[in-house]
Amino acid sequence: MVELETWQRQLSERLRTLWLFKMLTTMGAIAVFFYAYFWVMRHPLSSVTVMPLTGIDELVGFWPPSFFLYATLWVYIALGTALAKDLRELAAYGAASLAMIVVGLGVFMLAPTKIPDFAIVWTQYPSLAFLKKVDVSGNACPSLHAAFAAFTAFVLHRQLTAIRAGSALLVLNLLWCLGILYSTIATRQHVALDVIAGMVLAGVASILYAGASRMPDRAWAAARGSG
Query: How do the domains of the chain map onto residue ranges?
Result: 2-226
**In which band, very low, low, confident or very high, does the pLDDT at 136 lie, cut at 50, 70 and 90?**
low
**pLDDT surpassing 80 at residue 43:** yes
- What is the predicted pLDDT for the residue at 112? 95
- What is the predicted pLDDT for the residue at 89? 92
User: pTM of the entire structure?
Assistant: 0.90
Alpha helices in the chain (DSSP H): 2-16, 19-42, 55-59, 67-71, 73-82, 87-110, 126-135, 144-162, 167-186, 192-213, 217-226
**In which band, very low, low, confident or very high, does the pLDDT at 143 lie, cut at 50, 70 and 90?**
very high
Least confident of 2-6, 10-14, 95-99, 186-190: 2-6
Averaged pLDDT, 58-85: 94
- Side chain identity at residue 190, one-letter code: H
Averaged pLDDT, 58-62: 94
